Structure 1
Amino acid sequence: MKHKHEWMETLHLDNQLSLEDIPDLDLYMDQVIQLFEKKFADQKRNENEKILTKTMINNYAKGKLFFPIKNKKYSKEHLMLISMIYQMKGALSINDVKLTLERLNTKITDETFDLQQFYSSYLEIMNVNHTMFEKDLHEHMTEVETEVTKVNRDDEGYLEQVLLIATLTNMSNFYRKAAEKLVDEMTQKEQGDKNEA
């Protein structure tokens, strides 16, 4: 694949909802949707794709993926959680996202928990992940180019794309399986803790 670096930049994977992006005042649902649409517009697959909709937010609320809102407004903490949900839902089921964030929601509402500090750590790790991903993707592309020349010199561009798609979906499955295993372990531990209490 030619111009790997330029192609990687078109993915806009370094785009995250930073603490500076989140206003200090509470937002109505339409304002939340607008904020996310503006922030993640470059990551849309096509113009018709929606980053966040009223239905999605209502489903997250009904599913208790985040703690209840007050006066139809979403706080800074809600926006941080919605940002994490947005990232997780691409790989995990909504139920797994709920299980992952359940205790965090309890900590936010029942304890004095600094979600901003936690979210800052989350963003820092996302930046590290982005750097690692670019390096890994470059290596996958190089490996695919090498392998395709062994198979067939005709239609190399297409065959490279097929192998790269297969490689990336395989890696995605590895990471998803690892995340699901962690969700299962977390759930089993918390169930065990409840049974002991």
Structure 2
Amino acid sequence: MEDNIKEMMENLHLDSKLTMDDIPNLDLYMDQVIQLFENKYAAAKRNEEEKILTKTMINNYSKGKLFFPIKNKKYSPEHVMLINMIYEMKTSLSIRDIKQTLDPLNNRMMKEEFELNPIYEFFLELTEKNLERFSNDSNEIINEVKKSSDALQEDDDYWNKFFLILSFVNMSNYYCRVAEALVDEMESKELKKD
């Protein structure tokens, strides 16, 4: 079981990320942004039909003011960085929560000379460290499930996967709830300012 799960996790390409080197140092049209994401994250798709990024998604992010306004129908490298952060957050947070999280950053981008590159680089470093933590935690979870399955005398592949699914979803829920609480705290502080 353990080797099978590790191989499965490797096949998910969780280490896929859009680095600074991947982002052209020039403004891109929407189709070019979509192509950049599709190329970078193609291996991480669940199936061939899945779309990483679509025109509708980008338009919704723009209408929802998840990133500062574009100029001349082109997206700057900073927009691409923000879209990638949105891509990371959208599976766990609502659009409203993402907007709340990014509003202070977008306001800084619009009001002052603000360098997003170091913020994005740190985000990439965290992503790398989080993947390492995830790998270590996953190994612990796999070992615990194996021990429990042995104790229950249910060494069936179904039960192992069943308990792993429950455990991974449970951990995901914990992290998601903490993230939502942090968003709520940010919103509360913003309301107090006003």
Q: Bin the TM-score by the shorter chain.
A: over 0.9
Deviations 1:12-45 (A, max 9, x none): 1111110000001111000100000110111111
Separation in structure 2 between the aligned mates of residue 93 and residue 152 of structure 1, nearest angstrom: 41
Q: Could you tell me how far 1:109 is from its partner in structure 2?
A: 1.2
Separation in structure 2 between the aligned mates of residue 134 and residue 142 of structure 1, nearest angstrom: 12
Count of matched residue pairs: 193
Deviations 1:156-175 (A, max 9, x none): 11100000000000000000
Query: Which residue number in structure 2 is paired with residue 86 of structure 1?
Result: 87
Q: Could you tell me how far 1:153 is from its partner in structure 2?
A: 3.3
Q: Give 5+ residue unaligned stretches, structure 2.
A: none
**Helix, strand or coil at the partner of 1:91:** coil
**Helix, strand or coil at the partner of 1:41:** helix
Establish whether residue 31 from structure 1 lines up as the match of residue 25 from structure 2: no
Query: Which residue number in structure 2 is paired with residue 130 of structure 1?
Result: 131
What amino acid does structure 1 have at the position aligned with 2:74?
A: K
**Helix, strand or coil at the partner of 1:90:** coil
Establish whether residue 177 from structure 1 lines up as the match of residue 177 from structure 2: yes
Separation in structure 2 between the aligned mates of residue 27 and residue 172 of structure 1, nearest angstrom: 34
Query: Which residue number in structure 2 is paired with residue 7 of structure 1?
Result: 8
**Helix, strand or coil at the partner of 2:71:** coil
- Equivalent residues in 2 for 1:11-160 (5 A)? 11-153=12-154, 156-160=156-160
Separation in structure 2 between the aligned mates of residue 135 and residue 11 of structure 1, nearest angstrom: 16
Moved over 4 A (4+): none
What amino acid does structure 1 have at the position aligned with 2:68?
A: F
Query: Which residue number in structure 2 is paired with residue 188 of structure 1?
Result: 188
What amino acid does structure 2 have at the position aligned with 1:161?
A: K
TM-score using structure 1 length: 0.95
8 Å CA contact 2:2–2:142 kept in 1: the answer is no
Deviations 1:60-81 (A, max 9, x none): 0000000110111000000000
Separation in structure 1 between the aligned mates of residue 48 and residue 148 of structure 2, nearest angstrom: 35
Q: Could you tell me how far 1:131 is from its partner in structure 2?
A: 0.4
**Helix, strand or coil at the partner of 2:67:** coil
Q: Could you tell me how far 1:193 is from its partner in structure 2?
A: 1.2
What amino acid does structure 2 have at the position aligned with 1:181?
A: A
**Helix, strand or coil at the partner of 2:12:** coil
TM-score using structure 2 length: 0.97
Q: Give 5+ residue unaligned stretches, structure 1.
A: none
